């Protein structure tokens, strides 16, 4: 279990996170949802170990890891733009971390991962020859091959569109369930958060607005912010789609 206790952070005197308390159980998929500047990416970076917090404690599996370096925490991240090494082909990107952790996955596990993400036909391609969805899957494979203790995904679907987005969404859900991997997703899209995760953490101005299951968020919004800025977006989207289908059938 990952516990965040009273996490606070300021940048240049401006409060970005203010007393965040959170518990994430093993194998859960959590989405952090919020508007730009709400503090969700800072919280993600604090969990990763990239950004130092001003106060608070991070406990993982009962051990205080607040002062453990990013490298030694054993968490890993897929960045929004994937950060794939352009001088290496897809396969070399996937196995990049295995040079340092050769025992992280066996050859058969790696094969299984590659097949599961349907990357076999693209292994020898250069990064600039891959589509957005393929890049996303290569980045995911590269991260998963190191067997992270927690998987962090920074806006994983923002660079994708249409059907690809839905496919990747399903694949992320499937793979995290398959490996029973605790996963934290940062997103600004309510639909993405509510359809991908077991629990949703809604952050507003550095504080938690609501933390609960998608059902709880939809049926029991905690406050005006959740209602106005999160649920309203979904309602408008839903109404537009209903309207469109009605017109089509009329």
Partner 1 sequence: MIFGGIAVFFIAFLAAPLLILLANSFVTGQGSGLSNYSEVLGDKSVAAAIGNSIQVSTTAAVITTLLAFTLAYAVNCTKMCNGLKMLIKIGISIPMLLPTITYGFAIIYSFGKQGLLTKFFGMELFQIYGFNGLLMGYVIYTLPSAFLLLNNSFGYIDKKFIIVSTLMGDGFFRSFINTILRPLIGTIGGAFVLSFILSFTDFGIPASVGGTYNVIATQLYQVMLGSIPNFQSGSVIAVLMLLPAIFGVVFLNYLERFNFYYDGFSVTELPDNKLRDWALAFVSVVTVTGIVSVFLVMFIAPLVTNYPYDLTFTTQFIQQALFSSALLDVYENSVFVAIISAVLGTLIAYCAAIINVRTLMSKRAKISIELFSMITNSVPGMVLGLAYLLLFNASDLKGTFMIIILCNIVHFFTTPYLMAKNSLSKLNPAWETTGELMGDTWIKTIIRVIIPNSIATIVEMFGYYFINTMVTISAIIFLVTARTSVVTSKIKELQHFANFNEIFVLSILIFVTNISIKICCDLVNQKLTSDYR
> Based on CB atoms, which residue is closest to partner 1, 147 or 205?
147
Beta bridge partners of 136: none
Q: How far is the CB of 192 from partner 1 (least distance, A)?
A: 19
Residues that bind partner 1 (CB under 8 A): 45, 48, 50-52, 69-71, 75-77, 79-87, 96-97, 100-101, 127-128, 135, 142, 146, 159
> Based on CB atoms, which residue is closest to partner 1, 51 or 213?
51
Its sign, for the CA torsion 78, 20, 42, 72, is negative
- CA angle, 113 as apex, 124 and 198 as ends, to 5°? 130
Q: How far is the CB of 179 from partner 1 (least distance, A)?
A: 17
Instruction: Let me know how many helices (H) and strands (E) the chain has, helices first.
Output: 10, 10
Q: How far is the CB of 75 from partner 1 (least distance, A)?
A: 8
> Based on CB atoms, which residue is closest to partner 1, 30 or 77?
77
Q: How far is the CB of 156 from partner 1 (least distance, A)?
A: 14
> Based on CB atoms, which residue is closest to partner 1, 152 or 217?
152
Q: Is 194 helix (H, G, I), strand (E, B) or coil?
A: helix
First vs last C-alpha separation in the chain: 52
Q: How far is the CB of 142 from partner 1 (least distance, A)?
A: 8
Q: Name the burial class of residue 156, with classes exposed (0-12), middle (13-18) and buried (19+) by CB atoms within 10 angstroms of its CB.
A: buried
The answer to whether 208 and 54 are in contact (CB under 8 A) is no
Q: How far is the CB of 108 from partner 1 (least distance, A)?
A: 21
Angle between helices 162-178 and 132-144 (to 10 degrees): 10
φ, ψ at 148 (rounded to 5°) = -70, 150
Helices marked H in the chain — which ranges?
Answer: 40-48, 70-73, 90-94, 107-116, 132-144, 162-178, 190-196, 214-219, 224-225, 232-249
> Based on CB atoms, which residue is closest to partner 1, 135 or 165?
135
> Based on CB atoms, which residue is closest to partner 1, 37 or 86?
86
> Based on CB atoms, which residue is closest to partner 1, 5 or 92?
92
Q: How far apart are CA 59 and CA 189, in angstroms?
A: 28
Q: How far is the CB of 95 from partner 1 (least distance, A)?
A: 10
The answer to whether 222 and 233 are in contact (CB under 8 A) is no
């Amino acid at each position: 279990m990952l516990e965040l206790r009273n996490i606070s952070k300021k940048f240049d005197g401006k409060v970005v996170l203010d007393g965040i308390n959170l518990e994430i159980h093993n194998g859960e998929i959590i989405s952090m949802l919020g508007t730009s500047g709400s503090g969700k990416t800072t919280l993600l970076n604090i969990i990763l170990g990239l950004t130092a917090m001003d106060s608070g404690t991070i406990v993982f599996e009962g051990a205080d890891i607040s002062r453990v370096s990013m490298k030694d925490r054993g968490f890993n991240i897929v960045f929004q733009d994937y950060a794939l090494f352009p001088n290496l082909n897809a396969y070399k990107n996937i196995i990049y971390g295995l040079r340092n952790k050769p025992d992280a996955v066996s050859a058969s596990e790696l094969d299984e991962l590659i097949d599961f993400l349907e990357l076999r036909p693209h292994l020898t391609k250069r990064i600039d020859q891959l589509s957005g969805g393929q890049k996303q899957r290569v980045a995911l494979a590269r991260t998963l091959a190191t067997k992270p203790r927690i998987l962090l995904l920074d806006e994983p679907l923002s660079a994708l569109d249409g059907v690809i987005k839905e496919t990747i969404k399903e694949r992320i859900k499937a793979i995290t369930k398959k490996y029973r991997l605790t996963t934290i997703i940062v997103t600004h899209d309510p639909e993405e958060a509510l359809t991908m995760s077991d629990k949703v953490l809604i952050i507003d101005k550095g504080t938690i607005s609501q933390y609960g299951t998608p059902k709880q968020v939809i049926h029991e919004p905690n406050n005006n912010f959740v209602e106005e800025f999160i649920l309203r977006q979904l309602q408008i989207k839903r109404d537009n789609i209903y309207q469109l289908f009605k017109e089509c059938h009329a």
